[in-house]
Amino acid sequence: MRKLTPLALAFCLSSAFAAERGEVRIAAAADVPALCDQAIAKLNAEVAAIEKLPLSQANVANVLAPWSKSSGDLVEFWWGGGLIANVHPDEKLRQAEESCDLKISSETNRILQSSALYARFKAVKPADAIDAETLKAVLAEFEDKGVNLPPAKRKQAAGLFKRLDKLQQDFARNVRENKQKLAFSAEQLKGVSAEVLAGFKRDDKGNYLVGFDYPEYIPVMETAESGETRRQMQYAYQRRGGAKNLAILHEVVQIRKQLAALMGYPSYAAWATRNNMVGKPEVVLDFLAKVKDQVTEVEKRELAELLADKIAFTGDTKAKLERWDQMFYERRLQKAKFQVDQDAVRAQFPSAPTVEWMMAVTSRLYDVEFRANAKLPVWHEDVKGYDVFDKASGQYLSSFYMDLYPRDGKYKHAAAFTVRQASTLAGTTPVSALVTNFNRKGFDQDELETLYHEFGHIMHGVLSRTRYALNAGTNTKRDFVEAPSQMFEEWARNPASLALWNEVCPSCQPIDMKLVEKMNAARQFGQGTKYARQWLYAAYDMALAGPIPQEPLTLWQKMEAATPLGYVKGTEFPGAFGHIVGGYAAGYYGYMWSEVLALDMRSAFKGNVMDPAVGMRFRKTVLENGSQIPEMDLVRQFLGREPNSDAFFREITGQNGAGGKQ
């Protein structure tokens, strides 16, 4: 899955960041428990000092500012721990970080149920609109944890939150640590390129061993001519979470319903959406109904084309299009209808030059400079560190890491992890980490857009200039956080940004603009199936969070069976749907909701995506402000008008034309 936002997991760093450059010392596994206890003790001491304040002294300087500083300090220790738990090659360190994560999460849940602390925040009078917006969000956090409940119910809620934290961690680990490989003969993998085959390990019988990392799974699904091979691969992939994760998801759904009832809401969806942009689940359901209405016929037309190609390829006039056929025949149609060969795309965009080009585009757009920093300690030899500077002033702004390639025990998707948050008040500069599983040889079309998407998240984090760490970077409403990153996908395919390629790598093969035109035309095919699938994920998520809890696999079987390609008997997709167990519960709709704003904001560039004046306006208005100004107000300020959904509905029906330009 692509488009995963930063989750509040953790990166147990031994002392935070040295100086101002984001330099870290990664703790040894044996040191983590003591460091964890020290971080908790420090937090409790700082909280106790605020709790003891007379209410008459509860003001911004004595309550809000120190709270933000304490939260920011904890993030340096805690959120990065989730990064290390997801990327470090040392399994013992990953496990130590997970244990620390649970301890800190439990302690923060307890703190957020403190009536004394809550009373101090309630007594604070904001000095301006930013203080008011920040206080509003802080009070909502306390209320989310049940601070206003009677003592017995408050204790019950604490227990449920603690259990949820453990279940979410177990669910993610079960997917991340899955090392299953399927064995296939050379004949079974006919159609897969020799280059891809050369990257597979082999068993003692000479069979190729194929796992679930994207550089292994996707080439097989896209190019293996054997439908049976693709069926086996898709079947195993959809079961990679196992029975353990299905049981976890079932319990998670029940706990969420209990929490919602404790808080006085009819469903988890009603409780979870109340602080989002949508405000209530009815708005989400209405939006999803409009999406389904728009994409249904487009999906049917596209699937009919895929079926026609399957009949032509197999010679079977009675052939039926199966779910494991979709990627294979989409790729064939890309070649036949649009003359796009993804191997040619990968050759056009080799890994290192493509990353350099993407950073050059970003540098030009936002007037920043990226400098590689080999002194930044890393957790694996593949990881690279960078510092960010403002071009005009030469001022150091932030740092980030890139961890681009797959390995055992590493997070399996693509995400931007927050490690440290910005605060102009505390003088802290942000640090983020880009974690992906790309092919080392180069980028195909989807990977190219994913690279830009995730780097959009990184820029949202490291260009943040918020007063309080609480509002920094991607700390926005769940249904807005994807907007800046989705907007940035256009730069992966636009002629204006591609024009910088030869400047960045004069020794590279020049960009074949005819290939780019074909890529952009091909991108329009598949929009119906893509957004129909997004609708299904979002609708399933909302149904799970509805008033009547349902058994997750049974519900999925029913909902997927109602789609044109149906349900594949025995598959268990919910057991690997990490988004809705993690931060996107009753929030998966946010991807498409954010995209409405993303595509509308993109229109501000008026056909010139490399316009530095508009790029700087976006940096100053949206990226630097995080959530210290209401997100919709930021969009209005940037656009100079009320936003609308016209561009989004053109996009999901494939009507935006080549390149998706507005």
- Could you read off the pLDDT of 165-214 as tens digits, one per residue? 999 999 999 998 999 999 999 999 999 999 999 999 999 999 999 999 99
Per-residue pLDDT of 463-509, as tens digits, reads 999 999 999 999 999 999 999 999 999 999 999 999 999 999 999 99
- Report pLDDT for 458: 98
Per-residue pLDDT of 31-82, as tens digits, reads 999 999 999 999 999 999 999 999 999 999 999 999 999 998 888 887 778 8
| Rounded percentage of the chain residues whose pLDDT exceeds 70 | 95
Can you name the residues that pair with 415 across neighbouring β-strands? 4, 435
Instruction: Report the chain's C-alpha Rg in angstroms.
Output: 24
- Report pLDDT for 4: 27
Containing 369, the helix (H) or strand (E) segment is: strand 368-372
Q: E strands along 175-304, which residues? A: 182-184, 201-202, 208-210
Residue 113 to residue 122: CA distance in whole angstroms: 14
Per-residue pLDDT of 610-625, as tens digits, reads 999 999 999 999 999 9
Residue 539 to residue 546: CA distance in whole angstroms: 10
Question: What are the φ/ψ torsions at residue 368 (nearest 5 degrees)?
Answer: -125, 165
Per-residue pLDDT of 411-469, as tens digits, reads 888 999 999 999 999 999 999 999 999 999 999 999 999 999 999 999 999 999 999 99
Contacts of 56 (CB under 8 A, 6+ apart): none
Question: What are the φ/ψ torsions at residue 6 (nearest 5 degrees)?
Answer: -60, 130
- Cα dihedral sign, 61-62-65-66: positive
- Report pLDDT for 66: 96
Q: Where are the alpha helices (DSSP H) in 264-350?
A: 268-273, 281-314, 326-338, 342-348
DSSP codes of every residue in 370-427: EEE-TTS--SSTT-EEEEEEETTT--EEEEEEEE-S--TTS--S-EEEEEE--BTTTT
Torsion of CA 305, 311, 312, 315, to 10 degrees: 180
Q: End-to-end CA distance of the chain, in Å? A: 27
